[in-house]
Amino acid sequence: MAKPGTGAAAEPDAGAPAIEVRDLHKSFGTLEVLAGVDFTVARGEVVCVIGPSGSGKSTLLRCVNRLEEPTSGTVLVAGAEVTDPDVDIDKVRRGIGMVFQSFNLFPHLTALQNLTLPQRRVLGRDKAEATRVARERLARVGLTDKESSYPAQLSGGQQQRVAIARALAMDPQLMLFDEPTSALDPELVGDVLAVMRSLADEGMTMLVVTHEMSFAKEVADRVVFMDGGVIVEEGSPAHVIGAPSHARTRSFLSRLLDPAAARIGPSGD
């Protein structure tokens, strides 16, 4: 528990898991969106969260950096209790990179400026250091030649790679991805997934809400299947995607692979 006013709980605990979620509940009015979620993400682990629309995946992710206030329960990030009202939440958030479905770039700034501005404002880096870091991160996502482009001059996939580079420029300990490829034309998805795969290979801790089953199968250490605001099952990709033990998971996966079946009617379980 944080000591009120000290911000002490925001200090990373080297031995603590990257994320711990305990008995998390979230309601919007009478709608209970998270109905008691428990899970842990180890450092360096890549966890994909899958599940039907409305199952609470985005809400769970948004509770991790307190973009949503949980109704009850506990979230710890590197040992810092995010859900404690007295925690220094800005300090915790500085260690968490977040990538959304929509890229949320500043339209009036170039790619390079989109990366330098938050570093200067939030981390207080001087212009030369922020520019050096920005160029390094743009190179990491394969966009060195686009540093002077404005978002409107970039494809959706390139904008998303700038958004990933922007998050990386803040030196996060942990990256949250909320359906990062859902808004992209199919031919642009591969480049974004390749960047995410390289981050995973480098040991970045990643919690990824996605419908990209090939990414989940090939890159995730663990897959969590959510439905109705609870975790129905979790385990290795080979288990959850390859041989799910729960009927609700099987039904979801078959509807995902055969969208025509989803239009015909209810899943039957």
Ligand X SMILES: Nc1ncnc2c1ncn2[C@@H]1O[C@H](COP(=O)(O)OP(=O)(O)OP(=O)(O)O)[C@@H](O)[C@H]1O
Q: Which residues bind ligand X (CB under 6 A)?
A: 28, 33, 51, 53-59
Cα separation, 130 vs 10, in Å, equals 24
Question: Which pair of tokens denotes residue 12?
Answer: 């990373």
Cα separation, 178 vs 182, in Å, equals 9
Q: Considering beta carbons, is residue 55 or 181 the nearer one to ligand X?
A: 55
Q: Where are the alpha helices (DSSP H) in the chain?
A: 57-64, 89-94, 111-118, 127-140, 156-168, 186-201, 213-219, 237, 247-257, 259-264
Structural contact between residues 24 and 60, judged by C-beta atoms closer than 8 angstroms? yes
Q: Considering beta carbons, is residue 118 or 244 the nearer one to ligand X?
A: 244
State the number of CA atoms in the 13 A half-sphere of 33 facing the CB: 18
Cα separation, 233 vs 225, in Å, equals 5
Shortest gap between Cβ of 29 and ligand X (angstroms)? 7
Residue 265 region by backbone torsions, left for phi larger than 0, else alpha for psi between -120 and 50, else beta: left
Shortest gap between Cβ of 170 and ligand X (angstroms)? 24
Following DSSP, what letter does each residue of 64-124 receive, concatenated? Answer: HTTSS--SEEEEEETTEETT-TTS-HHHHHHTEEEE-SS----TTS-HHHHHHHHIIIII-
Shortest gap between Cβ of 54 and ligand X (angstroms)? 4
Q: Considering beta carbons, is residue 61 or 170 the nearer one to ligand X?
A: 61
Cα separation, 17 vs 41, in Å, equals 6
Shortest gap between Cβ of 188 and ligand X (angstroms)? 20
Shortest gap between Cβ of 43 and ligand X (angstroms)? 25
Shortest gap between Cβ of 176 and ligand X (angstroms)? 12
Q: Considering beta carbons, is residue 54 or 203 the nearer one to ligand X?
A: 54
Q: Considering beta carbons, is residue 33 or 223 the nearer one to ligand X?
A: 33
Q: Considering beta carbons, is residue 14 or 31 the nearer one to ligand X?
A: 31
Structural contact between residues 249 and 225, judged by C-beta atoms closer than 8 angstroms? yes
Q: Considering beta carbons, is residue 26 or 93 the nearer one to ligand X?
A: 26
Shortest gap between Cβ of 189 and ligand X (angstroms)? 16
